[in-house]
Amino acid sequence: MKRHYTILILVTVAATIALMRVVGCGTSRSARAVAAEKVYVAPGELDKYYAFLSGGQSGSVFVVGIPSCRLIREIPVFEPRAAYGYAVHEGDPRREELIATGGLWGDTHHPALSETHGVYDGRYLWINDLSNARLARVRLDTFEADKIVKIPNLQGAHGIAVVSPDTKYIVVNGEFEQPTDGMVTNPAPYTSVVAFVEPFTMEVKFEVRVPGNIDIADTSKDGRYSFSTVYNLEQGKDLASMIQFDRDAVAAIDIPAAEKAIAAGKGHVRNGVPILEGPENPGLLTMIAVPKNPHGVNVTPDGKYVIASGKLSPTVTIIDTKTLKIVAEPEVGLGPLHTTFDGRGNAYTSLFIDSQVVKWNIEKAIKGAPDYIVDRINVHYNIGHLQAVGGASMKPAGDYLLALNKLSKDQYLPVGPDMPEDQELIDISGEKMKMLASFPTPPEPHDAEFIAASVLSPKVKQVFEPAKDAIAAGSESVVRTGPHAVTVNMTMIRSAYTPDHFDVREGDQVTLRLTNVETVRDMIHGFALPDHDLNLALPPGATRTITVDAGKPGVYWYYCTNFCSALHLEMRGRMIVQPKDSTIAIPDWKAAQNVKGPVAGVPSTGAGQ
Ligand code: CUA
């Protein structure tokens, strides 16, 4: 019997290899052409969707065009990025904000798009920093991080979700449990909290205590419940003790009940945030027992069900979002992690151990029909998240699905022991899934969300709105504001800085207020200052203010780091640092340039001041 089985395997393997030789890696020539056609976006043509991929330990967000899979932007969020002049220099307020809230790196996992009536509206994207318990907001009209907050009373900010349908809160789950009383002496049982953050002020309004490690989040489509998977109800502190119980839970928090309890003053304020306790507020928190150590939690587009993926169990648990009762627990394969939807009644679950996406029919699974599994497709390899276009909204598009794989192994040219991350784009428009393309990214996207270009593109600004302190062309100045302080109000436009030189003294603190006065999209100018650890990139209309120490006496050429015109190389100017004891008069730069008359209210930078 055993021998027959071995022969059967050998024959199957030989036949498969022969077939692969004929068609080339298992894909026929015509299938390749069809797949290529589906992802081909000709030069000059535009993609149909934006995909926002979390940047994982790069602390950023990657923006990819779909279906071409072209990387079109990286949005640095929690990590400085010299290429964009983002938070690089000491005096950059964005850097100060990062340092104040936890540091110059982050671990981004879950992008969440703002919603109106349950569909993405293109205003904002939120992204978590697991490591430093932060939440950042990215403006989608400028593709820039505009606010970063630290979430108190919480460690390991993991799952986040927008409260549907109108973005009432951003839910942030605390995965790393802490002693409940906040003490480390004679610690109370370890628990954690789910934070509810107001999306526009980014204020943490309240938190709800949940036992165990709070993992992934989603919300019901009517704003009633937030759902979180919870593992380690054992409150174990090591791996072995975290996987003892047969069942852990999906925690359902009744949001209106929480708001009522907060209004009635039932929160226990810690670090400025009221925390609600389940036992003190009956009905607030429902723990729904599901197979142990569940992972993803995803609400169906119609809002009827919430689906918890089993991770250690080969099942998904389907829960009715009205009754909070389990209606089915179908088997889907090994290592189910996350589920997404096509809007046609099908769910797609990532299988980490099987390295597959499994497509299954939700109603058939609930009814116990034997044919609820529709299709399976291999991915490369060990998929984590997956996301279909609009899969987390009330209106999935049902056309593409992105598999975010943890290991790329043999998929790309080797680049050292560490390989790039691998994403695969799958066509889900038909009954059978079709693999279209794979593309690598730097480390390490966890999750993705899509938004239609037709929704977002019209909202994207061509230039930044002038800031209150923007410098207008013609009003540039160099102002001595103190015995050791100079402010340089500078503009930049193709292809010159105004002023193109200024004098300061050793020991001066030089505040550079720079405005790019271009009115044309894409006309970025850089401002790099050698030996001052300073490089800024200013998109059109942007103003940045940075203070630097003048440094050692000498001539420092500031220059443009973004290629902007045929005279890009000539776009530079001098900061001349005179020695402290220099007897050379430091002239007013306007006088030096024959500009008539003093600038009103502006003292010159002449000697003796
Ligand atoms: Cu401005 Cu190059």
Cα 38 to Cα 430: distance, rounded to the nearest angstrom: 13
pLDDT digits (tens, 9 = 90+) for 488-520: 999 999 999 999 999 999 999 999 999 999 999
Quick check: 381 and 409 in contact, CB under 8 A?
A: yes
CA 573 – ligand 1 centroid, Å: 12
Mean predicted confidence (pLDDT) in 297-320: 97
Mean predicted confidence (pLDDT) in 530-557: 94
Which of the four pLDDT bands, split at 50, 70 and 90, describes residue 29? confident
The whole-model pTM stands at 0.90
CA 571 – ligand 1 centroid, Å: 6
CA 518 – ligand 1 centroid, Å: 11
SS3 193: strand
Q: In this predicted model, which residue has the larger pLDDT, 120 or 245?
A: 120
Distances from the Cα of 271 to the Cα of 214, 220, 280, angstroms:
20, 29, 20
Q: Which of 156-160, 233-237, 571-575, 599-603 has the lowest mean pLDDT?
A: 599-603
Distances from the Cα of 590 to the Cα of 268, 276, 301, 323, 470, angstroms:
60, 62, 63, 74, 19
CA 492 – ligand 1 centroid, Å: 9
572 lines ligand 1 (CB under 6 A): no
Quick check: 189 and 270 in contact, CB under 8 A?
A: no
560 lines ligand 1 (CB under 6 A): yes
> Which ligand 1 atom lies nearest to the CA of residue 565?
2
Cα 44 to Cα 464: distance, rounded to the nearest angstrom: 25
Q: Which of 366-370, 412-416, 480-484 has the lowest mean pLDDT?
A: 480-484
The reported pLDDT for the residue numbered 442 is: 87
562 lines ligand 1 (CB under 6 A): yes
b/e sequence 46-58, b meaning 16+ C-beta within 10 Å: ebbbbbbbbbbbb
568 lines ligand 1 (CB under 6 A): yes
The reported pLDDT for the residue numbered 66 is: 98
Which of the four pLDDT bands, split at 50, 70 and 90, describes residue 26? low
Mean predicted confidence (pLDDT) in 347-365: 98
Residue minimizing CA distance to atom 1 of ligand 1:
525
The reported pLDDT for the residue numbered 179 is: 87
CA 463 – ligand 1 centroid, Å: 16
Which of the four pLDDT bands, split at 50, 70 and 90, describes residue 42? very high
Quick check: 129 and 150 in contact, CB under 8 A?
A: no
Which of the four pLDDT bands, split at 50, 70 and 90, describes residue 583? confident
529 lines ligand 1 (CB under 6 A): no
For the chain, percent helix, then strand, then coil, each to nearest 5? 15, 40, 45
Mean predicted confidence (pLDDT) in 46-67: 97
Q: Which of 55-69, 176-190, 364-378, 569-583 has the lowest mean pLDDT?
A: 176-190
> Which ligand 1 atom lies nearest to the CA of residue 525?
1
The reported pLDDT for the residue numbered 589 is: 52
Which of the four pLDDT bands, split at 50, 70 and 90, describes residue 522? very high
Cα 146 to Cα 144: distance, rounded to the nearest angstrom: 6
> Which ligand 1 atom lies nearest to the CA of residue 562?
2
The reported pLDDT for the residue numbered 405 is: 96
Which is nearest to 385 in space by CA: 396, 400, 399, 401? 401
561 lines ligand 1 (CB under 6 A): no
525 lines ligand 1 (CB under 6 A): yes
**pLDDT of residue 4 exceeding 60:** no
pLDDT digits (tens, 9 = 90+) for 441-499: 988 999 999 999 999 999 999 999 988 999 999 999 999 888 899 999 999 999 999 99
The reported pLDDT for the residue numbered 5 is: 52
> Which ligand 1 atom lies nearest to the CA of residue 494?
1
Mean predicted confidence (pLDDT) in 285-310: 96
pLDDT digits (tens, 9 = 90+) for 81-98: 988 889 988 878 899 999
> Which ligand 1 atom lies nearest to the CA of residue 568?
2
Which is nearest to 219 in space by CA: 167, 275, 265, 162? 162
The reported pLDDT for the residue numbered 475 is: 95
CA 346 – ligand 1 centroid, Å: 51
Residue type, 550: A
Q: Which of 80-84, 585-589, 594-598 has the lowest mean pLDDT?
A: 594-598
Cα 248 to Cα 210: distance, rounded to the nearest angstrom: 12
The position carrying tokens 């679950």 is: 349
The reported pLDDT for the residue numbered 588 is: 56
The reported pLDDT for the residue numbered 125 is: 98
SS3 543: strand
> Which ligand 1 atom lies nearest to the CA of residue 569?
2
**pLDDT of residue 21 exceeding 60:** no
SS3 402: strand
The reported pLDDT for the residue numbered 69 is: 97
The reported pLDDT for the residue numbered 236 is: 83
Which of the four pLDDT bands, split at 50, 70 and 90, describes residue 609? very low
563 lines ligand 1 (CB under 6 A): yes
The reported pLDDT for the residue numbered 111 is: 97
564 lines ligand 1 (CB under 6 A): yes
438 lines ligand 1 (CB under 6 A): no
* Beta strand pairing call for 509-516 and 554-559: unpaired
**pLDDT of residue 389 exceeding 90:** yes
495 lines ligand 1 (CB under 6 A): yes
CA 527 – ligand 1 centroid, Å: 9
Q: In this predicted model, which residue has the larger pLDDT, 151 or 2?
A: 151
CA 589 – ligand 1 centroid, Å: 22
The reported pLDDT for the residue numbered 22 is: 41
Cα 287 to Cα 324: distance, rounded to the nearest angstrom: 9
CA 97 – ligand 1 centroid, Å: 28
